[in-house]
Structure 1
Amino acid sequence: MTADLDPRLLRAFLAVAEEVHFTRAAARLYVAQQALSRDVRRLERELGAELFVRTTRQVTLTADGARLVPYARRVLQAQEELLAVFGQARALLVDVNSPGLGTPRRVLHRARALAPEHELMARYESGLTGAAGEIVAGRLDASFGRFAGLDPALRAGLDHQPVRYEPMAILLPEDDPLAESDRVPLAALAGRTVYAGAGNARTPEWTDLAHRLFEGRGITVDAPAPLAVGDEEFRRIMAKTRTPVLVVIDFPAMPGTVLRPLIDPVPLSPVSLVWRKGLVHPAFDALRRAAAEVAAEEGWLRRPSDGWIPAIDSATMAPRN
């Protein structure tokens, strides 16, 4: 028997023992059934005991399985008590990129409703790359964004959960000719320059996404420029340069501008919940559950037939076992 036993394996075992059904237990834990089965098999190997008798019709506890149940409950209860004590010492710090963005705001709002006894505090790092460095350093707990766009060295210390294929849009001066249309075909931007955060060290994953989208379509990513901070400065720069800005469909309203969805194809921003590997916090399960619930309710992970994402993102956004 191993000297170290992952509490996650005991949680998987107890869910199956109480539900007497792998599919229901997987749904209860918000994991894939294959992943749950794998954890149970790993626990059986580590304990050197068969815990369940499985047939095509039913699952039943063995004698060893029944003997393990009270121990598993005591261990998990002790873990919950320990985490609750230390969790009160600080809030779970969640980066939501910038005020007003719909996806992270809605997930955080649901997580707070699921875990009202804990504090989930919003932070604004304005870009996943910037947030990821803070997460790895332990100064931030979680963030949202394009996981495949991170440097591999950063990804090595992180884990993620796909949340949304978010349609992309173009932010235009309100008197731009394209503003007269309800939707803007990508071909209509041919020959134009579009701002996509080039030069912002906190958002290279977004600029990379823009380059991949515009490649072969005659659209140029605007040269690096200082970041406009605040509505007033944003409005001034937009009025001066009249450069369209690549954004997501839930981008907050800005004075003097209009937002138009992009089509033909519909470009998608792949959004994941991202956290440091090994993160332990009593509110973290609520955050992951909130992301799964809102994504399911809104159909956020249903990729439209005319949707576009880079090939590099397809693997990271695929359902995880």
Structure 2
Amino acid sequence: MSAHLDPRLLRAFLAVAEELHFTRAAARLYVAQQALSRDVRRLERELGAELFVRTTRQVTLTPDGERLVPHARRVLQAHDDLLTAFRQARPLLVDLNSPGLETGRRVLYRARELAPEHELMARFESGLTGAAVEIVAGRLDVSFGRYAGLDPALRAGLDHQLVRLEPMAVLLPEGHRLAASAEVPLAALAGETVYAGAGNPRTPEWTDLARVLFEGRGIALAPPAPLAVGVEEFRRVMAKDPQPILAVMGFPAMPGTVLRPLVDPVPLSPVSLVWRKGLVHPALDALRRAAVELGSAESWLACPVTGWIPARDRNIGSASPSGSSSGPSR
């Protein structure tokens, strides 16, 4: 038997023991069913005991499983009491990347409504890679962005929950040849040079998404521009050299530009809620509930028939009930 027992495994066990149903238990814990099943099997291996009898029709506790229930409840209550005593009063630091981006801001605002007794403080790190470094170092708690685009060394210290497949768009100068179009087919951008944050050390996950999207379509990735921190500086730098900018449909308006959805296919930007592995905080629970609530109400994880996301993003699992995204790839 292992000398150390991860409380997460006990939480997985107790949820299944109380629901006697793996799907309902996974939804209760905001995890994928496959991940929950893995945790239960790992706990059984570490304890050297079978805890459930599983059939195609029902799940029941074994005698060892029944014996474990009261012990698991006591251990988890003590664990929660300890964490509450030391962490509950601390604000949760939530990075939104930029003040104008919609998804993270809406999740944050809803979480504040769900847990008004907790302090969720907004931060703006201008990109998930930059925020992830701060999260792993303990100087930030949560951020939003493309988890699959992070360096594997960073991902090793993080957990994530897929929140939204956000339709992508292009921000065009008002005088651009495509500005009068209601939507812009990707093929229409052939021969164009499009800015997607190249050279910004805080946002390589976004530049990589653009690189994969543009590959084989005749669209060039704009070279690095001077690093602009803040909306005002970004607008000033972009105005000096007007060119199409890869964005999402919720991107804030910029003077002298128009935002147009991309189609044929509809490229989707996978946005995850990302936090430090092992982080326990009641306000994080509120964020995760808010993301699920908004996603369900507004079909944030729905992938159009003509939708596009990189294969790498589809193949990375998530701590959400939806697990990983699905749908057509390039």
TM-score norm. by structure 1 comes to 0.90
Structure 2 match to 1:243: 243
Contact 1:270 1:317 in 2 (8 A): no
Structure 1 residues 246-255 or 269-278, which shifts more? 269-278
Residue 142 of structure 1 pairs with residue 142 of structure 2 = yes
Distance 1:294 1:83, change over 3 A: same
Cα offset for 1:220? 1.9
Distance 1:238 1:45, change over 3 A: closer
1:80-114 Cα deviation digits (max 9, x unpaired):
22111112342121211101211111222232233
Paired residue type of 1:166: E
Segments of 5+ residues of structure 1 without an aligned counterpart are none
Structure 2 match to 1:115: 115
Contact 1:185 1:264 in 2 (8 A): yes
Q: How do 1:23-102 and structure 2 match up within 5 A?
A: 23-102=23-102
Identity of aligned residues (%): 79
Structure 2 match to 1:218: 218
CA distance in structure 2 between the aligned counterparts of 1:232 and 1:48, rounded to whole angstroms: 60
Q: How do 1:136-285 and structure 2 match up within 5 A?
A: 136-285=136-285
Segments of 5+ residues of structure 2 without an aligned counterpart are 325-330
- Match of 2:99, SS state, is coil
Cα offset for 1:115? 2.7
Paired residue type of 2:222: D
1:48-71 Cα deviation digits (max 9, x unpaired):
334334444333334433333222
CA distance in structure 1 between the aligned counterparts of 2:16 and 2:42, rounded to whole angstroms: 14
Contact 2:89 2:118 in 1 (8 A): no
CA distance in structure 2 between the aligned counterparts of 1:170 and 1:317, rounded to whole angstroms: 28
CA distance in structure 2 between the aligned counterparts of 1:4 and 1:283, rounded to whole angstroms: 27
Cα offset for 1:134? 1.0
1:221-267 Cα deviation digits (max 9, x unpaired):
22211134455544444443221211111111223322111112212
- Match of 2:282, SS state, is coil
Contact 2:162 2:272 in 1 (8 A): yes
CA distance in structure 1 between the aligned counterparts of 2:66 and 2:235, rounded to whole angstroms: 66
Number of residue pairs matched by the alignment:
321
- Match of 1:246, SS state, is strand
Cα offset for 1:301? 2.1
Cα offset for 1:118? 1.9
Structure 1 match to 2:300: 300
Paired residue type of 2:80: E
CA distance in structure 2 between the aligned counterparts of 1:240 and 1:105, rounded to whole angstroms: 29
Structure 2 match to 1:12: 12
Cα offset for 1:192? 2.1
Q: How do 1:280-291 and structure 2 match up within 5 A?
A: 280-291=280-291
